């Protein structure tokens, strides 16, 4: 190849590159999507965890929803009140006061309070318990099996398995809800951070059977509900429930629970 050919080849490549550059520049302006400045500002104050706890696909989705009016300024459970206040200032509205929520595992059937019916050596994953005999080796078929699927999805290292039961560190928990979604037995729920008492049992067995399955099981005796002065406790599906909107924190339910299935939070 002579020098002239090389020069021509370089010129052609340069021309093509210049043409493509001009084309892309024009296209970027023609098809440019205008982004609200407020959206970028909100994205800047959001924590950036992209946990999805707000119900939107990441922090960018949350910011877009807030700007569109589809989500409140306090939509981010991780950021809490401080972030909500900053977003409210950006949007020119006052952030509504919201309660801090945390996850809670409704079970305390650890290896000291319950027992195993057989030795299980297969894959230890909560999603697999439906395919295991009796839905797990533990005597209680309603409680936490302690396989830790919830710990794997928590982005804040706020939940760990201790003595065979998942426990939430409420100081670390940001209420993103990932552990709630992944628990196949629906043992995890979001409750107020300052909830004074909790029902640490989800047993669906009748009294005599529940007593055999776990030393701390609720037997649905109803003493907590009968003696609650605020009518905040009810018994459904063979175990107690606390309505935190009604609870006055008097502790009567704890005193009346002989099984110690209602405990301080």
What was the pLDDT predicted at 26? 79
- Say if residue 104's pLDDT is above 80: yes
What was the pLDDT predicted at 55? 83
- Say if residue 48's pLDDT is above 90: no
Q: Are 66 and 96 in contact (CB under 8 A)?
A: no
Nearest one of 222, 248, 251 to 234, comparing CA atoms: 222
pLDDT band for position 153 (cuts 50, 70, 90)? very high
Instruction: Write down all domains in the chain, each with its CATH number in brackets.
Output: 37-91 (1.10.15.40), 99-194 (3.30.70.20), 195-265 (3.30.70.20)
- Say if residue 33's pLDDT is above 70: no
Mean pLDDT of the chain: 89
Nearest one of 154, 196, 152, 200 to 174, comparing CA atoms: 154
Query: Can you tell me the distance from the alpha carbon of 16 to that of 8, in angstroms, rounded to the nearest whole number?
Result: 12
What was the pLDDT predicted at 5? 72
- Say if residue 135's pLDDT is above 80: yes
């Amino acid at each position: 190849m002579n020098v002239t050919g090389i020069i021509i080849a370089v010129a052609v490549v340069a021309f093509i590159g210049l043409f493509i550059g001009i084309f892309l520049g024009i296209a970027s302006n023609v098809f440019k999507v205008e982004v609200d400045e407020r959206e970028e500002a909100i994205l800047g104050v959001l924590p950036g965890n992209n946990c999805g706890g707000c119900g939107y696909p990441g922090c960018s989705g949350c910011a877009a929803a807030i700007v569109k009016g589809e989500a409140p300024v306090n939509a981010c459970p991780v950021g809490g009140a401080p972030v909500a206040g900053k977003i409210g200032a950006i949007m020119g509205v006052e952030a509504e006061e919201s309660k801090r929520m945390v996850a809670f595992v409704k079970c305390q059937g650890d290896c000291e309070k319950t027992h195993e019916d057989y030795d299980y050596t297969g894959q230890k994953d909560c999603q697999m318990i439906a395919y295991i005999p009796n839905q797990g080796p533990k005597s209680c078929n309603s409680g936490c099996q302690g396989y830790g699927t919830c710990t794997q999805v928590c982005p804040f290292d706020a939940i760990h398995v201790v003595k065979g039961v998942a426990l939430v560190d409420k100081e670390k928990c940001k209420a993103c809800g990932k552990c709630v979604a992944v628990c196949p037995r629906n043992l995890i729920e979001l409750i107020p951070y300052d909830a004074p008492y909790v029902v640490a049992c989800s047993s669906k067995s009748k009294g005599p059977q529940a007593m055999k399955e776990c030393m701390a099981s609720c037997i649905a005796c109803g003493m907590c509900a009968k003696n609650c002065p605020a009518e905040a406790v009810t018994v459904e599906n063979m175990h107690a429930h606390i309505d935190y909107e009604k609870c006055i924190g008097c502790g009567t339910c704890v005193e009346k629970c002989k099984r110690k299935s209602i405990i301080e939070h």
